[in-house]
Protein backbone atom coordinates (compact mmCIF):
# COMPACT_ATOMS: atom_id res chain seq x y z
CA UNK A 1 0.00 0.00 0.00
CA UNK A 2 2.58 2.49 -1.06
CA UNK A 3 1.47 5.91 -2.02
CA UNK A 4 1.63 6.31 -5.74
CA UNK A 5 0.69 9.15 -7.98
CA UNK A 6 -1.18 7.58 -10.84
CA UNK A 7 -2.14 10.84 -12.46
CA UNK A 8 -0.03 13.91 -11.82
CA UNK A 9 -2.41 16.33 -13.51
CA UNK A 10 -4.97 16.93 -10.70
CA UNK A 11 -2.14 16.88 -8.18
CA UNK A 12 -0.39 19.80 -9.78
CA UNK A 13 -3.62 21.73 -9.53
CA UNK A 14 -4.42 20.90 -5.96
CA UNK A 15 -2.08 23.36 -4.22
CA UNK A 16 -3.52 26.18 -6.26
CA UNK A 17 -7.15 25.66 -5.30
CA UNK A 18 -9.20 28.29 -3.53
CA UNK A 19 -9.03 27.44 0.16
CA UNK A 20 -5.29 27.24 0.56
CA UNK A 21 -4.78 30.35 -1.50
CA UNK A 22 -7.22 32.27 0.64
CA UNK A 23 -5.64 31.13 3.87
CA UNK A 24 -2.09 31.62 2.71
CA UNK A 25 -2.98 35.08 1.59
CA UNK A 26 -4.51 35.92 4.95
CA UNK A 27 -1.51 34.54 6.82
CA UNK A 28 0.89 36.47 4.69
CA UNK A 29 -1.33 39.49 5.10
CA UNK A 30 -0.84 39.34 8.84
CA UNK A 31 2.89 39.91 8.45
CA UNK A 32 2.36 42.29 5.58
CA UNK A 33 0.04 44.37 7.75
CA UNK A 34 2.74 44.95 10.38
CA UNK A 35 5.23 45.78 7.67
CA UNK A 36 2.82 48.33 6.20
CA UNK A 37 2.13 49.89 9.60
CA UNK A 38 5.87 50.08 10.18
CA UNK A 39 6.62 51.68 6.82
CA UNK A 40 3.79 54.20 7.14
CA UNK A 41 5.02 55.15 10.59
CA UNK A 42 8.57 55.61 9.29
CA UNK A 43 7.36 57.63 6.30
CA UNK A 44 5.30 59.97 8.49
CA UNK A 45 8.21 60.48 10.84
CA UNK A 46 10.58 61.15 7.97
CA UNK A 47 8.15 63.70 6.58
CA UNK A 48 8.01 65.44 9.93
CA UNK A 49 11.72 65.23 10.65
CA UNK A 50 14.07 64.85 7.71
CA UNK A 51 16.94 63.97 10.05
CA UNK A 52 15.19 60.76 11.09
CA UNK A 53 16.43 58.50 8.29
CA UNK A 54 20.02 59.67 8.33
CA UNK A 55 22.65 56.93 8.19
CA UNK A 56 23.00 57.02 11.95
CA UNK A 57 19.20 57.07 12.31
CA UNK A 58 18.72 53.89 10.32
CA UNK A 59 21.60 52.27 12.14
CA UNK A 60 20.05 53.14 15.48
CA UNK A 61 16.68 51.76 14.43
CA UNK A 62 18.26 48.45 13.46
CA UNK A 63 20.54 48.28 16.49
CA UNK A 64 17.66 48.96 18.85
CA UNK A 65 15.60 46.23 17.23
CA UNK A 66 18.39 43.64 17.15
CA UNK A 67 18.25 42.50 20.75
CA UNK A 68 14.48 42.34 20.85
CA UNK A 69 14.38 40.45 17.53
CA UNK A 70 16.76 37.82 18.89
CA UNK A 71 14.82 37.22 22.08
CA UNK A 72 11.45 37.40 20.32
CA UNK A 73 12.59 34.76 17.83
CA UNK A 74 13.35 32.37 20.68
CA UNK A 75 10.17 33.29 22.50
CA UNK A 76 8.08 32.59 19.36
CA UNK A 77 9.20 29.00 19.34
CA UNK A 78 8.09 28.58 22.92
CA UNK A 79 4.77 30.37 22.37
CA UNK A 80 4.07 28.24 19.28
CA UNK A 81 4.18 25.17 21.54
CA UNK A 82 1.48 26.76 23.72
CA UNK A 83 3.98 27.74 26.45
CA UNK A 84 5.76 30.92 27.47
CA UNK A 85 9.18 31.79 28.87
CA UNK A 86 9.07 34.71 31.28
CA UNK A 87 12.68 34.29 32.42
CA UNK A 88 14.26 35.67 29.22
CA UNK A 89 14.91 39.11 30.74
CA UNK A 90 16.76 37.61 33.69
CA UNK A 91 18.68 35.27 31.41
CA UNK A 92 19.70 38.17 29.20
CA UNK A 93 20.89 40.16 32.21
CA UNK A 94 22.98 37.42 33.81
CA UNK A 95 24.55 36.33 30.49
CA UNK A 96 25.48 39.91 29.67
CA UNK A 97 27.16 40.29 33.04
CA UNK A 98 28.95 36.95 32.71
CA UNK A 99 30.33 37.89 29.30
CA UNK A 100 31.29 41.32 30.61
CA UNK A 101 33.15 39.91 33.62
CA UNK A 102 35.01 37.50 31.34
CA UNK A 103 36.04 40.33 29.00
CA UNK A 104 37.03 42.52 31.92
CA UNK A 105 39.45 39.80 32.94
CA UNK A 106 41.05 40.05 29.52
CA UNK A 107 39.15 37.20 27.85
CA UNK A 108 38.68 36.63 24.14
CA UNK A 109 35.60 38.36 22.66
CA UNK A 110 34.39 35.32 20.73
CA UNK A 111 34.73 33.11 23.80
CA UNK A 112 32.77 35.72 25.78
CA UNK A 113 29.89 35.53 23.31
CA UNK A 114 30.01 31.73 23.43
CA UNK A 115 29.97 31.88 27.21
CA UNK A 116 26.83 34.02 27.18
CA UNK A 117 25.14 31.66 24.75
CA UNK A 118 26.11 28.61 26.82
CA UNK A 119 24.84 30.17 30.02
CA UNK A 120 21.57 31.02 28.29
CA UNK A 121 21.35 27.49 26.90
CA UNK A 122 21.79 26.03 30.36
CA UNK A 123 19.08 28.23 31.84
CA UNK A 124 16.76 27.44 28.91
CA UNK A 125 17.39 23.75 29.48
CA UNK A 126 16.46 24.18 33.13
CA UNK A 127 13.20 25.91 32.18
CA UNK A 128 12.46 23.24 29.61
CA UNK A 129 13.05 20.44 32.08
CA UNK A 130 10.82 22.04 34.69
CA UNK A 131 8.01 22.69 32.23
CA UNK A 132 8.13 19.41 30.30
CA UNK A 133 8.70 17.09 33.24
CA UNK A 134 6.80 18.98 35.92
CA UNK A 135 3.57 19.25 33.91
CA UNK A 136 3.06 22.62 35.60
CA UNK A 137 1.83 25.69 33.71
CA UNK A 138 4.79 27.37 32.02
CA UNK A 139 3.64 30.80 33.17
CA UNK A 140 4.19 29.88 36.81
CA UNK A 141 7.37 27.86 36.32
CA UNK A 142 9.13 30.54 34.34
CA UNK A 143 7.90 33.24 36.70
CA UNK A 144 9.72 31.27 39.37
CA UNK A 145 12.92 30.98 37.34
CA UNK A 146 12.62 34.68 36.45
CA UNK A 147 13.00 35.53 40.14
CA UNK A 148 15.58 32.84 40.87
CA UNK A 149 17.89 33.91 38.05
CA UNK A 150 17.40 37.57 38.90
CA UNK A 151 18.10 36.81 42.54
CA UNK A 152 21.29 34.89 41.80
CA UNK A 153 22.29 37.71 39.47
CA UNK A 154 21.79 40.31 42.22
CA UNK A 155 23.77 38.30 44.75
CA UNK A 156 26.60 37.74 42.31
CA UNK A 157 26.73 41.24 40.83
CA UNK A 158 25.86 43.20 43.95
CA UNK A 159 26.40 46.87 43.31
CA UNK A 160 29.10 46.22 40.74
CA UNK A 161 28.73 47.58 37.27
CA UNK A 162 30.42 46.96 33.96
CA UNK A 163 30.99 50.00 31.78
CA UNK A 164 32.19 50.34 28.22
CA UNK A 165 35.54 51.53 29.53
CA UNK A 166 36.12 48.08 31.09
CA UNK A 167 35.64 46.30 27.77
CA UNK A 168 38.13 45.80 24.93
CA UNK A 169 37.64 48.46 22.27
CA UNK A 170 37.18 45.89 19.52
CA UNK A 171 34.17 44.41 21.25
CA UNK A 172 32.42 47.71 21.69
CA UNK A 173 33.37 48.65 18.13
CA UNK A 174 31.75 45.44 16.95
CA UNK A 175 28.56 46.51 18.65
CA UNK A 176 28.27 49.64 16.56
CA UNK A 177 30.26 48.84 13.42
CA UNK A 178 28.98 47.05 10.37
CA UNK A 179 28.47 46.99 6.62
CA UNK A 180 27.51 50.59 5.85
CA UNK A 181 24.10 51.04 7.56
CA UNK A 182 23.82 47.38 8.57
CA UNK A 183 25.36 46.86 12.01
CA UNK A 184 27.06 43.52 12.73
CA UNK A 185 24.63 42.56 15.52
CA UNK A 186 21.69 43.20 13.18
CA UNK A 187 23.25 40.91 10.58
CA UNK A 188 23.71 38.20 13.20
CA UNK A 189 20.08 38.56 14.28
CA UNK A 190 18.98 38.38 10.65
CA UNK A 191 20.98 35.20 10.10
CA UNK A 192 19.51 33.62 13.23
CA UNK A 193 16.02 34.67 12.14
CA UNK A 194 16.32 33.20 8.65
CA UNK A 195 17.80 29.95 9.96
CA UNK A 196 15.07 29.58 12.57
CA UNK A 197 12.32 30.30 10.07
CA UNK A 198 13.75 27.70 7.72
CA UNK A 199 13.85 25.11 10.53
CA UNK A 200 10.25 25.85 11.51
CA UNK A 201 8.97 25.72 7.98
CA UNK A 202 10.95 22.98 6.34
CA UNK A 203 12.06 20.49 8.95
CA UNK A 204 10.07 17.81 10.68
CA UNK A 205 10.97 18.92 14.18
CA UNK A 206 9.90 22.48 13.38
CA UNK A 207 6.52 21.44 12.05
CA UNK A 208 6.08 19.26 15.12
CA UNK A 209 6.32 22.37 17.31
CA UNK A 210 3.28 23.76 15.49
CA UNK A 211 1.52 20.41 15.74
CA UNK A 212 1.93 20.09 19.47
CA UNK A 213 0.88 23.67 20.03
CA UNK A 214 -2.17 23.16 17.87
CA UNK A 215 -3.42 20.02 19.62
CA UNK A 216 -1.18 18.48 22.32
CA UNK A 217 -3.27 15.32 22.67
CA UNK A 218 -3.23 14.65 18.93
CA UNK A 219 0.52 15.27 18.93
CA UNK A 220 0.97 12.62 21.58
CA UNK A 221 -1.15 10.16 19.62
CA UNK A 222 0.82 10.94 16.46
CA UNK A 223 3.96 9.77 18.26
CA UNK A 224 5.59 13.20 18.45
CA UNK A 225 8.11 13.30 21.31
CA UNK A 226 6.23 16.15 23.00
CA UNK A 227 8.50 16.62 26.00
CA UNK A 228 11.68 16.54 23.95
CA UNK A 229 10.32 19.14 21.54
CA UNK A 230 9.25 21.46 24.36
CA UNK A 231 12.64 21.03 25.96
CA UNK A 232 14.31 21.92 22.67
CA UNK A 233 12.14 25.03 22.23
CA UNK A 234 13.05 26.31 25.71
CA UNK A 235 16.74 25.51 25.26
CA UNK A 236 16.81 27.40 21.98
CA UNK A 237 14.93 30.30 23.56
CA UNK A 238 17.45 30.43 26.40
CA UNK A 239 20.38 30.28 23.98
CA UNK A 240 19.03 33.25 22.04
CA UNK A 241 18.43 35.18 25.26
CA UNK A 242 22.09 34.50 26.12
CA UNK A 243 23.21 35.65 22.68
CA UNK A 244 21.05 38.75 23.10
CA UNK A 245 22.85 39.35 26.41
CA UNK A 246 26.20 39.40 24.60
CA UNK A 247 24.76 41.75 21.96
CA UNK A 248 23.41 43.99 24.71
CA UNK A 249 26.88 44.20 26.22
CA UNK A 250 28.41 45.03 22.83
CA UNK A 251 25.79 47.65 22.09
CA UNK A 252 25.53 49.48 25.41
CA UNK A 253 28.68 48.38 27.23
CA UNK A 254 26.83 49.06 30.42
CA UNK A 255 25.60 46.16 32.55
CA UNK A 256 24.50 45.91 36.18
CA UNK A 257 22.25 43.70 38.27
CA UNK A 258 19.12 45.34 36.87
CA UNK A 259 19.89 44.71 33.20
CA UNK A 260 16.97 43.13 31.36
CA UNK A 261 14.55 43.76 34.21
CA UNK A 262 10.99 43.60 32.90
CA UNK A 263 12.20 42.80 29.40
CA UNK A 264 10.16 39.61 29.18
CA UNK A 265 6.94 41.60 28.86
CA UNK A 266 8.33 43.64 25.95
CA UNK A 267 9.34 40.37 24.31
CA UNK A 268 5.91 38.82 24.75
CA UNK A 269 4.30 42.00 23.35
CA UNK A 270 6.53 41.88 20.29
CA UNK A 271 5.66 38.24 19.70
CA UNK A 272 1.92 38.82 20.03
CA UNK A 273 1.93 42.02 17.96
CA UNK A 274 3.78 39.97 15.36
CA UNK A 275 0.88 37.56 15.07
CA UNK A 276 2.15 34.55 17.00
CA UNK A 277 -1.02 33.24 18.62
CA UNK A 278 -0.71 32.96 22.38
CA UNK A 279 -2.69 29.72 22.48
CA UNK A 280 -0.11 28.05 20.26
CA UNK A 281 0.05 26.39 16.89
CA UNK A 282 0.13 29.46 14.70
CA UNK A 283 2.36 32.37 13.75
CA UNK A 284 5.83 32.88 12.33
CA UNK A 285 9.19 34.16 13.55
CA UNK A 286 9.20 36.72 10.76
CA UNK A 287 6.03 38.15 12.20
CA UNK A 288 7.57 38.23 15.66
CA UNK A 289 10.68 39.97 14.29
CA UNK A 290 8.53 42.58 12.55
CA UNK A 291 6.63 43.05 15.80
CA UNK A 292 9.93 43.65 17.58
CA UNK A 293 11.03 46.13 14.92
CA UNK A 294 7.72 47.98 15.19
CA UNK A 295 7.78 48.22 18.97
CA UNK A 296 11.41 49.38 19.22
CA UNK A 297 10.94 51.90 16.42
CA UNK A 298 8.22 53.66 18.38
CA UNK A 299 10.90 54.49 20.92
CA UNK A 300 12.73 56.49 18.25
CA UNK A 301 9.73 57.75 16.32
CA UNK A 302 7.97 59.60 19.11
CA UNK A 303 10.98 61.71 20.19
CA UNK A 304 11.76 62.41 16.52
CA UNK A 305 8.25 63.79 16.14
CA UNK A 306 8.64 65.86 19.25
CA UNK A 307 6.28 63.72 21.30
CA UNK A 308 7.40 63.04 24.82
CA UNK A 309 8.74 59.55 25.30
CA UNK A 310 6.35 59.07 28.22
CA UNK A 311 3.82 58.11 25.53
CA UNK A 312 5.83 55.11 24.38
CA UNK A 313 4.36 52.60 26.81
CA UNK A 314 0.79 53.65 26.18
CA UNK A 315 1.29 53.42 22.41
CA UNK A 316 2.81 49.95 22.82
CA UNK A 317 -0.23 48.86 24.81
CA UNK A 318 -2.62 50.17 22.18
CA UNK A 319 -0.70 48.33 19.47
CA UNK A 320 -0.87 45.13 21.46
CA UNK A 321 -4.64 45.33 21.90
CA UNK A 322 -5.07 46.31 18.28
CA UNK A 323 -3.04 43.31 17.15
CA UNK A 324 -5.10 40.91 19.26
CA UNK A 325 -8.34 42.43 17.99
CA UNK A 326 -7.21 42.10 14.39
CA UNK A 327 -6.16 38.49 14.97
CA UNK A 328 -9.52 37.64 16.47
CA UNK A 329 -11.46 39.20 13.64
CA UNK A 330 -9.28 37.55 11.00
CA UNK A 331 -9.61 34.18 12.77
CA UNK A 332 -13.41 34.44 12.80
CA UNK A 333 -13.49 35.46 9.13
CA UNK A 334 -11.22 32.59 8.12
CA UNK A 335 -13.24 30.08 10.13
CA UNK A 336 -16.45 31.27 8.49
CA UNK A 337 -14.90 31.12 5.02
CA UNK A 338 -13.55 27.60 5.59
CA UNK A 339 -16.85 26.39 6.96
CA UNK A 340 -18.73 27.77 4.00
CA UNK A 341 -16.30 26.04 1.69
CA UNK A 342 -16.80 22.75 3.54
CA UNK A 343 -20.56 23.09 3.33
CA UNK A 344 -20.41 23.80 -0.36
CA UNK A 345 -18.33 20.70 -0.98
CA UNK A 346 -20.66 18.65 1.10
CA UNK A 347 -23.76 19.85 -0.69
CA UNK A 348 -22.05 19.11 -3.97
CA UNK A 349 -21.24 15.58 -2.85
CA UNK A 350 -24.76 14.98 -1.60
CA UNK A 351 -26.19 16.20 -4.87
CA UNK A 352 -23.85 13.94 -6.78
CA UNK A 353 -25.01 11.01 -4.69
CA UNK A 354 -28.63 11.90 -5.26
CA UNK A 355 -28.06 12.08 -8.99
CA UNK A 356 -26.28 8.74 -9.06
Partner 1 sequence: MTHPPDPGPAPVLALKGVSKSFGAVHALRDVCLELLPGEVHALAGENGAGKSTLIKTLAGVHRPDAGQVLLDGEPVVFHGPGDARDAGIAVIYQEPTLFPDLSIAENIFMGRQPKRALGRIDHRATRAATAALMKRLGVGLDPGRPARGLSIADQQIVEIAKALSFDARVLIMDEPTAALTGSEVARLFGVVRTLSAQGAAVLFVSHRLDEIFQICRRVTTLRDGARIADEPLAGMTEDDLVRRMVGRDLAALYPKQDATPGEVALSVRRLTREGVFTDVSFEVRRGEIVGLAGLVGAGRTEVARAVFGVDRWDAGEVEVVGRRLPRGAPSTAMAAGLALVPEDRRAQGLVMGMSIERNIGLTGLRTTVTAGLVDRRAERSRSLDWAVRLQVKYARIADAVSTLSGGNQQKVVLAKWLATGPKVLIVDEPTRGIDVGTKAEVHRLLSRLAAEGVAVLMISSDLPEILGMADRVLVMHEGRLTADIPRARATEESVMAAATGRAAV
Residue 135: CB minimum distance to partner 1, A? 16
Phi (first) and psi of residue 281, to 5 degrees: 85, -10
Are 228 and 236 in contact by the 8 Å Cβ rule? The answer is no
Phi (first) and psi of residue 139, to 5 degrees: -55, -45
Beta carbon nearer to partner 1, 31 or 153: 31
Query: By C-alpha distance, which of 228, 245, 291, 272 is closest to 101?
Result: 245
Residue 356: CB minimum distance to partner 1, A? 8
Beta carbon nearer to partner 1, 181 or 337: 337
Residue 72: CB minimum distance to partner 1, A? 20
How many alpha carbons lie under 13 Å from residue 187 in its C-beta half-sphere?
Answer: 11
> Which residues, numbered 318-347, are part of the site for partner 1 (CB under 8 A)?
334-336, 338-339, 341-342, 345-346
354 binds partner 1 (CB under 8 A): yes
> Which residues, numbered 13-32, are part of the site for partner 1 (CB under 8 A)?
14-15, 17-20, 23-24
Query: By C-alpha distance, which of 155, 153, 158 is closest to 87?
Result: 153
Beta carbon nearer to partner 1, 4 or 159: 4
Which position among 124, 225, 314, 325 is part of the footprint of partner 1 (CB under 8 A)?
225
223 binds partner 1 (CB under 8 A): yes
Cβ neighbours of residue 338 closer than 8 Å, sequence gap 6 or more: 19, 23
215 binds partner 1 (CB under 8 A): yes
Question: What is the b/e burial string over 9-20, where b = at least 16 CB atoms within 10 angstroms of the residue's CB?
Answer: eeeeeeeeeeee
CA distance 163 to 237: 27
Written as one string, the DSSP assignment of 116-157 is HHHHHHHHHHHHHHHHHHH---HHHHHHHHHHHHHHHHHHHH
111 binds partner 1 (CB under 8 A): no
220 binds partner 1 (CB under 8 A): yes
CA distance 47 to 107: 46
5 binds partner 1 (CB under 8 A): yes
Beta carbon nearer to partner 1, 15 or 306: 15
> Which residues, numbered 174-203, are part of the site for partner 1 (CB under 8 A)?
202-203
Beta carbon nearer to partner 1, 211 or 295: 211
Beta carbon nearer to partner 1, 307 or 338: 338
Residue 288: CB minimum distance to partner 1, A? 16
Are 76 and 277 in contact by the 8 Å Cβ rule? The answer is no
Are 206 and 81 in contact by the 8 Å Cβ rule? The answer is no
CA distance 265 to 87: 10
Residue 287: CB minimum distance to partner 1, A? 14
CA distance 149 to 137: 19
Which position among 36, 40, 191, 218 is part of the footprint of partner 1 (CB under 8 A)?
218
160 binds partner 1 (CB under 8 A): no
Cβ neighbours of residue 127 closer than 8 Å, sequence gap 6 or more: 85, 87, 141, 142, 145, 234, 237, 238
Residue 143: CB minimum distance to partner 1, A? 23
> Which residues, numbered 280-319, are part of the site for partner 1 (CB under 8 A)?
281-282
Beta carbon nearer to partner 1, 211 or 298: 211
Beta carbon nearer to partner 1, 93 or 280: 280
137 binds partner 1 (CB under 8 A): no
CA distance 164 to 203: 41
Kindly list the residues in this chain that would bind partner 1 in the complex (CB under 8 A). 1-8, 10-11, 14-15, 17-20, 23-24, 202-204, 207-208, 210-211, 213-215, 217-225, 281-282, 334-336, 338-339, 341-342, 345-346, 348-350, 353-354, 356
Amino acid sequence: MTVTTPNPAPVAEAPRSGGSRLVERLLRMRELAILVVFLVMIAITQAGNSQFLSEQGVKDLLLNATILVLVATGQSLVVITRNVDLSVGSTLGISAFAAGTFLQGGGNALVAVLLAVLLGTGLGLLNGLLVSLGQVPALVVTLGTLYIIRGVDSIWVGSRQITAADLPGGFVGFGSGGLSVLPWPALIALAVLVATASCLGHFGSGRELYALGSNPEAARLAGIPVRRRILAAYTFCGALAGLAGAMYLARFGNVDSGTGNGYELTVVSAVVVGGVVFTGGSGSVYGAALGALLLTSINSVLPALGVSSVWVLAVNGVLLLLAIAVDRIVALRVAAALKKKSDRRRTAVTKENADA
